[in-house]
């Protein structure tokens, strides 16, 4: 059964059932301007109605529970919220028969470490509560206090940067970063310890009225064993990504192979006992496409950071001034960011309108940059 609700933007959003008009056999989603927003393997495995037993396993692993009725959870993923070409991965409404009270679980998978997940999941949660209020018919302007499902915000991290098994990310860190920027602009000379103490003092004085925390779980192979042991599909996903990465690294035993070959070999080597094996084998081409898409986006973001830093520091060195170095760094990041956005639009991960918005440009100028960039590639200049 498909649940619909009308958002403030006037668009109708699908909730439970991913119909063919939004999700085709390639696992892609239609975005604005007839562009395609591609899904990822994590969502392919854990975001579908037919995989609700796996989703319940994931919920149980995260919450340390042992519920056995998949019908007690409802998928209500936001399908039109796009950040760098990727949408909200998975959100669930959990009935009181599962957790004594109703719960709202927001899950996101990240292949790179992102300290900004608290603000992103805060925004997801706001959209989901808006949806909940609409569907429940609750009067947000009334005198009666509304009961809301209790939220849990979780990020499943499987990037190559080493992280602890579990890390709590807090929105307050972004507020403290605002104070840090202000302090730097005052021109005061402070030691690291003095700066941190002053930031803490000003933060307590500011007393922000919004607090958000996100639990980041490292699901890389060999990490978070208790959680992975409790959710077999998640453990198999972890093994699959680890196998691809292992085969791409030259270690003297297996040797280095290309990404597509590594994906194919990882699929072929999946043990017969894997519960996800049939689904992955049956959707081999789609799985390869999803893995390639995610890898290319991760690689692009890495290049953006590297190129931005290199161009910025080079300009700073030429000017020989601290101010020049800061300005050069900023300019380098802007150049790198635009190149990444152009590439993401070219690959269909963003629409031109979305790319222009993130580049803080009008769409006509952005398309002109895209045309110039394409000409540069064809002539060998880029």
Domain identity same for 17 and 55 = yes
Domain identity same for 297 and 319 = yes
Domain identity same for 216 and 329 = no
Domain identity same for 190 and 295 = no
Does the residue 239 lie in any domain? no
Does the residue 246 lie in any domain? no
Does the residue 374 lie in any domain? yes
Question: Rounded to two decimals, what is the model's pTM?
Answer: 0.69
Does the residue 257 lie in any domain? no
Does the residue 363 lie in any domain? yes
Structure confidence at residue 22 (pLDDT): 30
The residue from 233, 248, 268 where one domain ends is 233
Split into its structural domains, the chain has a count of: 3
Does the residue 338 lie in any domain? yes
Domain identity same for 191 and 59 = no
What range defines the domain where residue 186 resides?
179-209
- Per residue of the chain (382 residues), give pLDDT as tens: 333 332 323 332 323 233 333 322 233 333 333 333 345 899 899 988 999 999 999 999 999 999 889 988 888 876 644 333 335 567 777 766 566 678 899 999 998 899 999 999 999 899 889 988 998 999 999 999 999 999 999 999 999 999 999 999 999 999 999 999 998 888 888 899 999 999 999 999 999 999 999 999 999 999 999 999 999 999 999 999 999 999 887 544 445 568 888 999 999 999 999 999 999 999 999 999 888 877 776 655 555 555 555 555 555 555 554 554 445 545 555 556 677 778 777 766 677 887 788 788 888 888 888 887 765 544 444 3
Structure confidence at residue 140 (pLDDT): 92
Domain identity same for 108 and 22 = yes
Domain identity same for 192 and 214 = no
Structure confidence at residue 297 (pLDDT): 62
Structure confidence at residue 76 (pLDDT): 80
Residue 339 is encoded by which pair of tokens?
């190149």
Domain identity same for 340 and 202 = no
Domain identity same for 219 and 303 = no
Does the residue 250 lie in any domain? no
C-alpha pair distances (Å), 109 with each of 80, 198, 204, 349 = 17, 35, 32, 17
Domain identity same for 160 and 23 = yes
Domain identity same for 19 and 121 = yes
Does the residue 52 lie in any domain? yes
Structure confidence at residue 4 (pLDDT): 32
Domain identity same for 21 and 152 = yes
């Amino acid at each position: 059964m498909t649940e619909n609700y009308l958002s403030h933007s006037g668009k109708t959003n699908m909730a439970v059932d991913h119909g063919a008009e939004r999700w085709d056999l390639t696992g892609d989603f239609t975005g604005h301007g007839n562009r395609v927003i591609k899904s990822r393997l994590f969502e392919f495995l854990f975001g579908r109605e037919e995989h609700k037993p796996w989703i319940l396993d994931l919920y149980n692993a995260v919450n340390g529970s042992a519920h056995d009725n998949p019908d007690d959870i409802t998928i209500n993923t936001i399908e039109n919220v796009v950040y760098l070409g990727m949408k909200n991965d998975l959100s669930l409404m959990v009935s009181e028969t599962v957790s004594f009270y109703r719960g709202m679980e927001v899950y996101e998978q990240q292949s790179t470490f992102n300290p900004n997940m608290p603000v992103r999941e805060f925004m997801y949660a706001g959209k989901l509560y808006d949806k909940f209020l609409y569907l429940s018919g609750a009067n947000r302007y009334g005198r009666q206090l509304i009961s809301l499902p209790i939220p849990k915000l979780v990020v499943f991290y499987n990037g190559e940067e080493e992280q602890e098994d579990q890390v709590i990310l807090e929105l307050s860190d972004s507020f403290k970063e605002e104070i840090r920027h202000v302090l730097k602009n005052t021109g005061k000379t402070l030691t690291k310890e003095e700066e941190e103490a002053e930031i803490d003092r000003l933060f307590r004085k500011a007393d922000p009225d919004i607090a958000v925390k996100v639990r980041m779980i490292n699901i890389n192979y060999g990490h978070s064993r208790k959680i992975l042991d409790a959710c077999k599909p998640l453990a198999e996903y972890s093994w699959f990504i680890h196998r691809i990465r292992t085969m791409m690294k030259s270690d003297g035993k297996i040797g280095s192979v290309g990404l597509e070959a590594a994906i194919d070999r990882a699929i072929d080597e999946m043990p017969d006992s894997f519960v996800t094996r049939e689904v992955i084998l049956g959707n081999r081409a789609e799985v390869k496409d999803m893995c390639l898409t995610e890898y290319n986006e991760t690689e692009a973001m890495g290049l953006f950071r590297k190129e931005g830093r290199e161009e910025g520091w080079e300009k700073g060195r030429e000017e020989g001034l601290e101010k020049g170095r800061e300005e050069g760094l900023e300019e380098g990041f802007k150049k790198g960011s635009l190149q990444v956005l152009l590439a993401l639009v070219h690959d269909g991960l963003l629409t031109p309108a979305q790319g222009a918005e993130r580049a803080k440009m009008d769409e006509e100028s952005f398309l002109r940059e895209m045309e110039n960039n394409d000409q540069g590639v064809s002539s060998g200049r880029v």
